[in-house]
Amino acid sequence: MAAIPVTIGARRPEPLASVALLGDEPGDSGRPLVDTHGRVHRDLRISLTDRCSLRCTYCMPEQGNEWLAKSSILGTDEIVHVARVAAAAGVTTFRLTGGEPLLRTDIVDVVRRIAQLRTPDGEPVHVAMTTNGIRLPDFLPDLQAAGLGRLNISLDTIRRDRFRELTRRDRLDDVLEGIAAAQRSGLRPLKINAVAMRDVNDDELIDLVAFAIEHDAQLRFIEQMPLDAGHTWDRARMVTRAEILETLSARWELTPVPGRGGAPAERWQLDDGPHTVGVIASVTAPFCGDCDRLRLTADGQLRNCLFSTTEYDLLPALRGPGLAAPPASGEGARDAAIETMLRSCVLGKLPGHAINDPSFLQPARGMNAIGG
Ligand code: SAM
Ligand code: SF4
């Protein structure tokens, strides 16, 4: 089956190898998802919805967001189907995200069914979630019982007025209850993500790390990326990795933790430990060379990079006739069509993102519709 990538906006073309190999024999499950730069892809981030209970300024506009069509949102079976084919091709970690993943009524089911998948070696896969934490107290016991293994919660400020301004919702208490529930749950390592922003929360970096330590969590600062739906990102205003480290150095002695592997965060030990802090410096210190991630949007588009303007539409493979590609008939044919699309997406991956390139074009989707 021919895979049809859709390019949204002009950017550097993806490698010809992706075209040359489109006719690869399907049903090659078990062969790892290796791109033309030798990177093996083992991490699939699944966005479950573009809807959210917050409206963080760096992610979504307050009003006028263009929501994904409800009819295009993948159902539970479709999500699990893609995950099953991905696991057979060597994906070992599935991170559920959004939008806000806990807004999905089938969230426990999705976790349970993905957690039952096995890698080609027969090993259980890992299921992780990134959430704003708001509905965690309701769901966490069931999520853990279903097989959720890791949790990242986002929190950019611990000041109520600031939280309300930044997220345009007065829900700090709900997030704090979510973090308390996560702390009680024993899921470790528990990670707290904070986007560092100039004149917004850059005077709170030390307080946020201290808050994380109190809650037995690892704070990870994220450099703000050009992924807001309002396209308002301004390089001159972003807080860089260097600035974050300089600020933290005034309070702690920072010692680099070796063995980062493909992880997006570089980590530093605080004083003599045991606590650490992480920085995800996607803009000033990109880690594309070790990237092992793919993304599936809530409306069935595979993406090989947060910043890519090319998407690989899985809906025809999942839903068959009536859409843009030849129908797959039968389960085996559908599996093969999904696998072909996964491989095409991987082969189309560029060596790195182009945020720092004058030709960079921000993706049309905001972060809430890509899946962070
Ligand atoms: N709603 C969930 C949450 O906030 O954790 C999951 C989805 S959210 C898009 C995933 C992560 O992306 C969050 O940690 C958020 O802070 C981060 N994020 C969103 N927009 C961003 C941007 N423009 N730059 C950097 N990080 C961003
Ligand atoms: Fe919602 Fe997460 Fe985006 Fe904030 S960062 S608006 S919580 S999806």
pLDDT digits (tens, 9 = 90+) for 243-283: 999 999 999 999 999 988 889 999 999 999 999 999 999 99
Residue nearest to atom 13 of ligand 1 (CA): 154
**Residue nearest ligand 2's atom 4 by CA:** 56
| Residue located via tokens 């057979």 | 88
- pLDDT band, very low/low/confident/very high, at 331 (cuts 50, 70, 90): confident
Q: What CATH number has the domain bearing residue 83?
A: 3.20.20.70
Ligand nearest to C-alpha 197: 1
Please give the pLDDT value at position 213.
98
**337 CB contacts (<8 Å, ≥6 apart)?**
1, 26, 316, 317, 325, 328
- Of residues 59 and 230, more confidently modeled: 59
- Strands 276-280, 43-47: parallel, antiparallel or unpaired by DSSP? unpaired
Q: Which of 55, 59, 283, 293 to mutate to test the pocket of ligand 1 (most atoms within 8 A of CB)?
A: 59
pLDDT-based confidence at residue 17 (cuts at 50, 70, 90): very low
Given a cut of 50, whether residue 14 has pLDDT beyond it is no
Domain that holds residue 23: 5-370
Structural domain total, the chain: 1
In whole numbers, what is the pLDDT of the chain averaged over residues?
90
**Mean pLDDT on 97-116:** 98
Q: Residue with the nearest Cα to atom 20 of ligand 1?
A: 59
Q: In angstroms, what is the span from residue 28 Cα to ligand 2's centroid?
A: 37
Measured CA angle at 246 (ends 240, 247), to 5 deg: 95
Cα–ligand 2 centroid distance for 55 (angstroms): 6
Does the pTM surpass 0.85? The reply is yes
For the segment 164-186, the average pLDDT, to the nearest whole number, is 97
pLDDT value at residue 180: 98
Q: Which ligand is nearest to the CA of 372?
A: 1
pLDDT of residue 5: 66
